[in-house]
Structures are given as structure tokens and as C-alpha cells.
Chains A and B, each alone.
Chain A
């Protein structure tokens, strides 16, 4: 049996193989929810709040209901009211269901422009759209708070009467827009900073950005004659979606099934439901299948949650040799209209890679009358790195110390104390930094150009999560493994899991069929998020393979008339150990034992030891000092992936994630007007990078396996978005002497910063 600890004799795992599902993508045959057309299907649209903050006095749907072709209309009144504090299980911490319900249908109050207030199902999309205009909502406008500063001001209007700031002593009694205060500290950072021979301070502002997936969320819901609901969704987690949908509807879990279809990009933005429960309720009311569609404008303007804006202050101090003495950080994250965004992971991530005796990190999440934020690849990481990695770089400049050398001098290693006090598991930061130092991207001189050029370095860390992943393997009549995996594939995991199972079975990848189960056909699995799927599903499926193979072994032993432990298995065949002994292949074995019942190997992984992610990025830029335009000339991302199950898949994750980071670094940012409405709610003015805006991203893979987990795999997909903004900012600083403190670093902001130092 191939060992998952084996290094060099792997035959399928570690190979650069094409995706098993690439063909249907290049032919357009891959099915996303928008592609479904069910007989009698109705079309639904959502009515959204035009105001950033208001009480809903009354909703009059009568005129809309009278429009010919309108089949059903719902508001919050059509859903049970959930109490504050209602949660659904998710991983170790659960997920705020009261918040999810508000995200999907406002109750009593609207908290951002674009929050849903009603939904209509009609016989065709034009009628659905026309009906929206006929729903009359009587709002009592309230003063909105549109940024962190306004939200924490003493007389700020309070969004939620029930929110009392957590983590503050004595416990407050008056409600606040500050939902929580988190502190991570050790030593005495204030004194150490005061006494440090060299210090650097930076305060940054980061604008809201969106995950920018190309597929707007679409949900199709159908309720059968017995009231059983099926939901087809573009979702990161069919079980999470099912839990949320059932809870919002007040429906038993046994009455609903969520089928995950292809996902046209998610990146954290499709963990919460956006319309699933609404679509089911409409389907129940009109007794037809319902397709609920979000337009791109809705996606951007409050229909789905973008990533958090932030204000972060960092101060760092070091001795004259560049050894860190203190890090002080204040992290303020803009949660949007609903609470539930903890800054803790972000705070830890920004400081974790540095050995530093004195830390004082304080984090706040603040609600504002803007779309409720959701996760976006290592949520909070890129914002925090923009501050921290620039502060470190400024410190290097002050000490005239090479930034790579500085990182090496202060690098956390296996066993170093993490900010929360626990020791670091096995990590390879030093290996990563060594590779940077030996690579041409670092050793090549920066070629001269028409305008100033600079090179920036930034490192990044993301912890990721494990949670639960399940899967099972049945063996087909021809002996081939058929895998049903629980976690949704948003990063190429159907392919990498096919590789793992092929490796375990000693077969080729073409012999393995992989499929994602729906919420009733596979074991419970948490959503695809937190860089957890490849690692944990590997563990679950390795267990499932061993289970299946041991069942097969028993059958083979019976057929070959020998003891099970006298059989060897390799490459699809069981062979009796004695020379010339009998053998039987999987196909023959299955055919001979069809009447003995199915072979089903099961596996589950829960709370797998973490495979934390570490990356170091090097970026060369040219700054047009007349216009402020920044061109990224060269970009190299170094990342420790533990073991690359498939180098092409790893590179794809890294390259895509880096380009997302470059987009937020340079051109992507929400532009809110004074009324809380987005002024750039289109892909014309919400500027994501095109193929002409970025160079080829080079990805260098380092492998420091995680001990004691199958194949030693680490998470991959989140950390690459963490360093880019800082890497670009550090390069700009080296090129021009300017420290950019507002992200995105648009040409106008760069030019203004240049003009200020002239």
C-alpha cells in the first residue's frame, strides 16, 4: 500500500496533471445554477433598500401582486423571526444565523443600500422586474454612519440596540457600533517602543473591495408535492447553505436538500446564503420551481458582502541590529451593517511570522451603514499586511538593513511562540526566505527605465482552519473507485482528490471518478473555505480508501482461499504472497462478488492539525511620476505548500490570488457617496485587473510537509493575497521615497503623495 508519508516514489500525487473537469469548462458544458431551466420555472428578483439607514414602517405589496404574471411576493413577514444570538453550527465556532437572516431579508430596519426588503416571483423576468417597482415601502430615514470614524464618534447613531461592546471592562450598558474589542498582548510593548533605538510608525486606510467572482449568485429552488425542497446553488458549502436555509425557513433539515453546482468563483463570498431561503419560500407559495437571479449591480451594491475596509495603526521598534523589540497595532475593521467579524485572526496573522518579545495588538470590529462584509481569501490579511509589512520595511530603511535579512533575523521558526501564546507547529519560513535570497528576482539588478523603479518584499501568513470533511468511495463493477466528496470544489480539489485516491489504490487518475455530493448524499462537511479542503479531504479520503481496500481484501481472501494478511495489494490486484500464488484484479473481484453488497469505504476528518500557510513575495514596479500610474514589472511569489498535490493547481491558486491582491492594491476600491450608495457599482468603475494590467506571476513552490497528516499537505489558496499590496507599496517606497497609506494606491493617490513630498 503506498504510504502517504513516502517522498519520492509517488506516482500520481505530486504530478502536474490537467484538471479532471477541465473539458466541460472549455466546452461550456459545465453547469452553473443560471444554466438550469426546469419545467414551469418562475423567475424571481429582489427589491432592495435605496437607503443606508432607515426603519421600515410598512411594505405595501398589493399593486405588485395585482400585476398580471406575478405569482408570489415575500417580505420578512413570511419568515419566522429569529432571536439575536441564534446560530448554526459551523466548525468550532458556529455562525450567526440572526445576521444571515437579516442579510437575506431586512426585518424592521434597513442597514445598508441594497439590503433585501422583499422578493417577487413571476412568470418571466421582465414581469418580475416590473413588479419590484410596484412594491411601496414606507421608510423612516435615519442618519447613516458611513465610516469607522463616524461610527465610533460619541453621538453616532447606533445601528443595533442589542450590541454592547464585547471585551471591554467594565461591561458597557449602552449600545455601541463597536461590536468587540480583542487584545493580544505579551510583555510591555509601550515601554519597549519608547526605549527602542529604532522605530517606525504607520497609519493606513484600506477601502472596501469585493471578491469579484465572475458568476453572480443564482439560486434555483423547487418544492415537491410532499413539501421536500431541493435547492441548486453556487455555494462554497452545501451543508452550511442547508443549515442556514432550513433555519431561516423554520424547516426541518430532513425536508431540504442543497445540491452544489459549479461555482463561478467564490473566494469567501459564497459561504453565507444570498437568496436560497427566499427562493424556497417563493417556490412554496407559487408551487413552481423558482430561479432567483442577482445582477452584477446587485452583487456590488449591497446584495452580497464585500471585504472589510479598515483603519490600522502599526508601530514597530527594534535594536540597532534590527532585532524586533516591540510591535504595537490597532486594527479597526469595518464590518458593514451587521456584526460578526472578528479581528483576532487578522491581528495574529500580521505579527505571527516575527519573533518579538513585546506585543500589544488591539482589534475592533465596527458596524457602519454599508453592505455587511463577508470573507475574502484570508479575510483581513491583506489589509493588515499593508500596514505591518510597510512598517517593517520603513524600519529596515531607517536601519539601512536589507529587508530580506531583517525578515530572516526575526523569523519565527517551528516552536516559536505565536501571538496567542501557543508554539508554532512545523513551519518553513526560513526555507522560504532562503529561496528568495537565491532567486534571480532578488539577485538580478533592477533594470533602469524611463521612470523610477523599485523592488519590494513582503511576507504573509495565514492560519486557515480544518473543520470537518467527509467522503466515501464505492467501487464500481469494473473495479474502479467512485469518490463522493463532501467539500465543494472551488480550487481544483476534484482533481487533487482523484490523484490521492489513485495513489492510494495504485491506479491512474483516469481510473478514479470524483463527484461532489449534495447535502443528503454524503457525510456532513463544512464549507470550502479557510484553505482546508485539499488537506482535510485528503485525510478523509485516505481513510475511506483504507476502509474500502480492507473490505476488498476480505473479499479477495475469500475468493483466493487464503488469509487476508497473506495477500499483497498493488496496482489494482490482490496477490497471494507465496510464489506462483493466485491473484485477482479489482474488476474480476467485483464481478465475482456483486451479490455480496456494495463496497463503501468511508472517511471523515475533523480538526486535522493545521497546515499553516506562509508566503514571501517580491515585486518590481515602475512609477510614472507624472501621472501616478504604477506598473508591476515583475512578480514572484514564494510559498510553502507542505506538499504540492498538483503543482499546476498550486500555481493556479497562487497566481490568481496574487492578481486579486494586485487589483486591491492598485485599482479596486468601493467609492461610497455621502448617501451610502456606491458610485462605482459596475465592472467598468470597480476596476479588476485585465490581462494587460499584470505581468506573468512566477510561483516558486517550497515544501515543508506538515507532520502526521496524510501527504503533509498545507493550505494554499489564501495566503497569496496577503502580501501583494505591501509588496507593491514597499516597491513604490523604494522607487520614490513615498509611503502610501491609502489602499488602493490609485494613480491619483500616488500622484498626490508624490506631490506632497516635492
Chain B
């Protein structure tokens, strides 16, 4: 491992200053970074420990609903937060899938986003909920959709010297629900072979008014399965509808074959997971669907 210096900024400004050049790497939970440094997959001359910046480690329900989550808050803390568990169960569910208890006690939403692995399990539920990212840099702060952050495997839209400060979960819309399901060969510890986050908002009459279907591990970045979403809108939820959405989502996927699974298998999984996730969304909405 290359030697590095280590800093503990105590404010956003100090953190941004520490991230000033290409030598710097942000450290939240370290569950990706430290493994990568050890294996030589990433190099760091200066490690900036973000866990001592109050804005990055606080998590709070907002007065008019919504939750603001500091980028370095642990996945365990996110999953256990009352407002997250109540209003954004898909986010809590996703946080509980990553790695193991030990990993979840350290890893963070910010890290899962900024590491930008196509398999990032926390991301689809965030995109489903329309989560917003707040980013700070030398020129000030900006806000963007979490969805807009991903540019390629391991690459985000963060500019040189910027850090992700927080993730805002906007107030949940009425008659809406989200789910995240993924497939792994073991029941813990594994990286997703495929993952699907779905979000439905129903109109008063029960038809789908809006839908998001977000695919993980089947493309260079988290993908919106647009043809599946289009097919859902205006329709009444039914097993046949979800089956069709799954088929279309599989077509939207752009998987590769690697040691974790072939492209064909991943497409099959996308179809199945989409169908199941949509049914699960309805079950959450107390729609009278069988969860299959």
C-alpha cells in the first residue's frame, strides 16, 4: 500500500479544502476504499476522514416530512432511523442487504453512491424516491438528483475537489411505495448479480400514475428501465402487467457476463425481480395483489 497522510476536517469547508487535489480520497466507512487501497486498485496520498464533519454524520427527519441523511451516516443508522423505516422502507431494506452487519455498521449511503459500482444496492431505492444529493466544492454548494451522479463504473459527476455532503429523501408522495429486491447466490455477504428498485404511485382510481424501475448490476450505471415504466403508466396493477413490465425491463438491461453471472442470466433475473418488486410495491400499498 502506498503511504498516505490522514486528515480529520471538522467542517464542510475544511473537508473541501482537504479534497483539493488528485492525491485526496474521501473516507467514510472505508469498506470499499480500504479494500481497494490494499489491493492496489486505488491510490491515495491523502485520506480525508469525513466522519468528524457534523453535516455528514447527522440524520434527521425534516419538519415538513422528508429525511436529510449525512453522506457518512452508517447504513445501520440509516436503516434503524424511525422516519426512514416508516416512510422509506425500501431505503432501509437496501441498507440491510449490503455486505453484513459488520459492513453496514461502517458503510454509508455516500460511500455506496460515490464508489459508483453498478451493483450499488443503496442506489435504486434512492433513485426511486427521487433523492437529491447536496454536493460541496470550492465554489460553493450545489444540488442535483442522485440519479444524475453516475457516469460510469466507478465514476461520478463529482468535480475535482467536490464532496457529497448529504442525501435528501423528499416527502413521500401519497399512494406511493417503493421496493428494492436483488439476487445473490448466498443470503448475505454477496454482491448483487442483479437488483431492481421499483416505485409506483397510484391514481385515485387505482391505475398507475407514475412508475420508476431502476436496475442495478446490469449496466455501467444504475439504469432506468424506461420501456417498463412506460408500459405501467395508466394501467391497473395486475400480475400480467407486472410480468410484461419485467419482460420489458429485461430488454432495457445492458448486462455483461462476468464471474458473478452471464448476461442472459442477469436478464432473466431482471424480469423476475421487476415482477416481484412491483407486486411487493402493491402489497405495501395495500393493493389487493398476491405477492407473486
Interface residues of A (CB under 8 A from B): 126, 450, 626-627, 629, 666-667, 671, 679-680, 684-685, 687, 689-690, 692-693, 746-748, 751-752
Q: Contact mask B258-274 → A, CB, 8 Å, 1/0?
A: 11111001001100100
Minimum C-beta distance from A88 to chain B (A): 37
B174 within 8 A of A: no
CB atoms of B183 and A627 under 8 A apart: yes
Q: Across the A-B interface, give the 7 residue pairs with the lowest CB-CB distance, nearest first.
A: A692-B187, A679-B259, A626-B272, A748-B265, A671-B259, A690-B188, A667-B185
- CA gap between A685 and B183 in the complex, in Å: 14
Task: Tell me the bound Cα distance from A635 to B62 in angstroms.
Answer: 50
CA distance A752 to B268 in the complex (A): 10
Given A667-B185, A747-B183, 8 more pairs with CB closer than 8 A: A679-B258, A685-B260, A687-B185, A689-B186, A690-B100, A690-B187, A746-B185, A748-B265
Q: How far is the CA of A268 from the CA of B163 in the complex (A)?
A: 50
Shortest Cβ distance from B111 into chain A, in angstroms? 17
Residues of B within 8 A of A684 (CB): 189-191
State how many angstroms separate the Cβ of B48 from the closest Cβ of chain A: 22
A-facing residues in B254-292 (Cβ within 8 Å)? 258-262, 265, 268-269, 272, 292
Q: Which residues of B contact A748 (CB under 8 A)?
A: 193, 261-262, 265
Task: Tell me the nearest residue of chain B to A691, going by C-beta.
Answer: B188
Query: Considering the chains assembled together, what is the distance between the CA atoms of A126 and B258 in angstroms?
Result: 32
B1 contacts chain A at the CB level, 8 A cutoff: yes
Residues of A within 8 A of B187 (CB): 690, 692-693
| Contacts of B177-202 to chain A: CB distance below 8 A | 183, 185-191, 193
CA distance A49 to B98 in the complex (A): 34
CA gap between A748 and B259 in the complex, in Å? 11
> B189 contacts A627, CB within 8 Å?
no
In the complex, A126→B269 CA distance in Å? 43
* A and B contact pairs by CB, cutoff 8 A, 15 listed: A450-B292, A627-B269, A629-B183, A666-B185, A671-B259, A679-B258, A684-B190, A684-B191, A685-B191, A687-B189, A690-B100, A690-B188, A746-B185, A747-B185, A748-B193
With both beta carbons as reference points, the residue of chain A lying nearest to B100 in the complex is identified as: A690
In the complex the two chains form, is A685's CB within 8 Å of B268's CB?
A: no
Q: Can you name the residue of chain A whose Cβ is closest to the Cβ of B265?
A: A748
A667 near B261: Cβ-Cβ < 8 Å: no
Contact residue range for chain B? 20 to 34
Measured in the bound complex, the distance between the Cα atoms of B1 and A692 in whole Å is: 34
Cα–Cα, bound, A678→B17 (Å)? 41
A693 and B190 CA atoms in complex are apart in Å by 12
Given the interface contacts A126-B1, A626-B272, A627-B183, does A692 sit within 8 Å of B259 by beta carbon? no
Would you give the shortest CB distance from A343 to chain B, in whole angstroms?
A: 29
Q: Given the complex of chains A and B, what is the CA–CA distance between A671 and B259 in angstroms?
A: 7
> With a CB–CB cut-off of 8 A, which chain B residues contact A685?
191, 259-260
Tell whether, in the assembled complex, residue A687 and residue B186 are in contact, meaning their CB atoms are under 8 Å apart.
yes
Closest A residue by C-beta to B246:
A626
Question: Which B residues touch A687, using CB under 8 A?
Answer: 185-186, 189-190
Residues in chain B near residue A671, CB distance under 8 A: 259
B186 touches A667 (CB 8 A): yes
Q: Contact at B262–A692, with CB atoms within 8 Å? A: no
Closest to A692 in B: B187
Q: A692 to nearest B CB, angstroms?
A: 4
The smallest C-beta distance from A664 to any residue of chain B, in angstroms, reads 13
- Identify which of residues 228-261 in chain B touch chain A, using a CB-to-CB cut-off of 8 Å: 258-261
Task: List A contacts of B260 (CB < 8 A).
Answer: 685
Task: Give the shortest distance, in Å, between B253 (CB) and chain A (any CB).
Answer: 15
Give CA–CA (A679, B260) in the complex, Å: 10
- Separation of A680 and B185 alpha carbons in the complex (Å): 14
Establish whether residues B259 and A680, one from each chain, have CB atoms under 8 Å apart when the complex forms.
Answer: yes
B-chain residues with CB within 8 Å of residue A680 when the two chains form the complex? 259
Q: How far is the CB of B35 from chain A (nearest CB, A)?
A: 9
Complex CA distance for A126 and B190, rounded to whole angstroms: 30
What are the residues of chain A within 8 A of B268 when measuring CB–CB?
627, 751
Instruction: Give the residues in chain B near A690, CB-CB below 8 Å.
Output: 100, 186-189
Alpha-carbon distance A684/B1, docked complex (angstroms): 21
B188-A692 in contact (CB<8A) = yes
Measured CB to CB, the closest approach of chain B to A43, in angstroms, equals 14
The distance in angstroms between the C-alpha atoms of A626 and B247, with both chains bound, is 13
Q: How far is the CB of A69 from chain B (nearest CB, A)?
A: 14
Bound-complex Cα distance A693 to B189 (A): 11
Assembled-state Cα–Cα distance A679/B268 (Å): 23
Chain B residues, CB < 8 A from A693: 186-188
8 A Cβ contacts from B1-47 to A:
1
Nearest CB to that of A625 among chain B residues?
B272
Which A residues are in CB contact (< 8 Å) with B265?
Answer: 748, 751-752
> Using Cβ atoms and an 8 Å threshold, which residues of chain B touch A746?
185
Name the distance in Å between A425's Cβ and chain B's nearest Cβ. 41
Distance (whole angstroms) from the CB of B193 to the closest CB of chain A: 8
Taking the closest CB of chain B, its distance from the CB of A479, in whole angstroms, is 49
Q: Within 8 Å CB of B193, what residues of A? A: 748
CB distance from B153 to the nearest CB of A (A): 17
- Given the complex of chains A and B, what is the CA–CA distance between A687 and B1 in angstroms? 26
- State the CA gap A666–B186 with chains docked (Å): 9
A282 CB → nearest B CB, Å: 23
